[in-house]
Amino acid sequence: MATFDAISHTIRCDILSKTHVADNLAMRKEVSRTFTFPTKEMYDYATLATLGDDVYFEPSTKALEDHVAQITGKQAGLFLPSGTASNQIALRTHLMQPPYSVLCDQRSHINLYEAGGAAFHSGAALTAVIPSNGHHLTLEDVQQHIVLGNNNHNAPTAVIALENTLRGTIFPQDEIIAISDYAHSQGIKMHLDGARIWHVAAQTETPLKELCDPFDSVHPSVLVLAGPTAFIDKARWMRKLFGGGMRQTGILAASAAYALTYNFPLLPAVHALARRLEKGLEEIGVEVTSRAETCMLFYDPTSIGTTFDEIADRASDLPEPLILGDARLVVHIQTSESAVDDLLSIIRQLAEEKQATGFVKHAAKRPKVQSEMYAQRETKK
Ligand SMILES: Cc1ncc(COP(=O)(O)O)c(C=O)c1O
C-alpha cells in the first residue's frame, strides 16, 4: 500500500519554471507590441485586493460591481469571468420561454464570435442584420427586420443587442436612442455589448451613463454586467447555473479597477496613434476599408500590389517582431510609436518593391465617415 508521503509526492505540483520571471519580462516586451499584457503596476495593485469568496460577495469584487453600476447609471452589477459570459448570461436572463429571437448587427460579437451561444444557451434565433449604410444599424434597418405580432411561423424579437464600438466604429447616440425608444414601445429589451464603450466615451467625451441610458442591460467589459436589481439577481442565479460563480476574484476585480483609473485616460493618445497609422497607410496608397474612428482600422493592401501574408511575414522578421493577422489593425495603450513606424516602413518598402516590378497602384477607395453619411441622409430627406 502507498504511504501518505508517496501519494503527496505524486500530487505535488510546481508550475513555475526556473526562468518564469525572466520569461515574463521577455514576453511583456514581445506581446506589448501586439497584445496587451498586465503591467507590473497593475499586478502590484491587484495583489492588494481582498481575498474573499465571490459566491458570498467578495469585498473588492463587490466594490467594482457597485462602481460599474454607478458609472453606467444602473442599479446593480455582477462580476462575470468574460465578455462572452456577460453577453450570454444577459441574454439568458432577459429571455424566458422560446420561441423568440435577438436582433443584432451581422458583424457583432454575439453573432459571429460566441460559438452560437444564443442558440445553445437560450434557444434563441438571431436576426443578424447587415447595416444598409455599411456602418451602423439604423432605426429603418431595425424596423425592416424586427419580428412582431402573433404569427406562429415567426420567432418574435425579444431583445435588440447592439455593440459599441463595433469594429472600432462609433454608433451614433441619436440612432441608438431612436432604436431604443422604438424597441421599448414594442416591449423589447435592449442589451449593449460595450466591450469597447470606453473608446466611445473617450472619443466623444460623453459620460458612460449617457451612453448606457438607452439600454436595459450593459456589459462594459471590465468583467461586470450591469442592469436593474431584479435582472442582476436573476443573472447571479444564471451565473451559478452556468458554473461561473468564482471564488477569490478580488485580484481580477482589482486589475479591472486599475485599468479604469490608470488606463482609461490613455485612450485619447491611443486613438491619435491609430489615426497616425491610418494617415501613414493612405500616404503610401493603401486602401483603408474601415476608418480609425477609435483604436482600430481595417485595410486592404491589394491597392499597392501586396498581401496580408507578405506584410505579416516581414513583420514577424523584425528585430522586435510584430504579430499581424489580416485586415484588422488594433492600437492599444502598450503599442509604441516605433511599432507603428516599423509597420509603415515595411508596407512602404513592399509598395516600392512592387512598383519596381511594374505594379501600378490602384486608386484607393475611401469609406465614408459618419459626418458624410449624415450629410447624404439629410440631402435625401
Ligand atoms: C465586442 C466584444 N464583445 C465581447 C467580447 C468577448 O469578450 P471575452 O473575450 O472576454 O469573452 C469581445 C472580445 O474581444 C469583444 O470584442
Domain ranges of the chain: 52-247, 267-376
Confidence at residue 196, expressed as pLDDT on a 0 to 100 scale: 97
Q: Does domain 52-247 correspond to CATH entry 3.40.50.300?
A: no
Residue 98's beta-bridge partner residues? none
CB distance 376 to ligand 1 below 6 Å: no
CA-closest residue to ligand 1 atom 8? 83
Q: To the nearest whole number, what is the mean pLDDT of the chain?
A: 93
Integer Cα distance of 369 and 381 in angstroms: 19
Q: Give the number of other Cβ atoms within 10 Å of residue 366's Cβ.
A: 12
pLDDT at 234 over 50: yes
pLDDT above 70 covers what percent of the chain?
A: 93
Superfamily of domain 267-376: Aspartate Aminotransferase, domain 1 (3.90.1150.10)
Helix H or strand E encompassing 348: helix 337-356
| Residue for grid cell 420567432 | 155
> Helix 59-72 to helix 250-258 angle, to the nearest 10 degrees?
40
CB distance 348 to 342 below 8 Å: no
Ligand 1 site-directed mutation target among 121, 164, 221, most atoms within 8 Å of CB: 221
Interval 195-220 mean pLDDT: 98
Peptide bond into 72 cis (omega under 30): no
Counting ligand 1 atoms within 8 A of each CB, the residue from 80, 82, 84, 217 with the most, and so the one to mutate, is 84
**Atom of ligand 1 at shortest range from CA of 193:** 3
- The whole-angstrom separation of Cα 201 and Cα 175 is 16
Cis bond leading into 3, ω under 30°?
no
pLDDT tens track for 56-66: 999 999 999 99
Helix (H, G, I), strand (E, B) or coil at 259: helix
Ligand 1 close to Cβ of residue 278 (< 6 A): no
Which residue's CA is the closest to the ligand 1 atom numbered 7? 83
Q: Whose CA is nearest to atom 5 of ligand 1?
A: 83
Q: Give residue-wise pLDDT tens across range 326-341.
A: 999 999 999 999 999 9
Q: Does 199 sit in the ligand 1 pocket, CB within 6 Å?
A: no
Judged against a pLDDT cut of 50, whether residue 22 lies above it is answered with yes
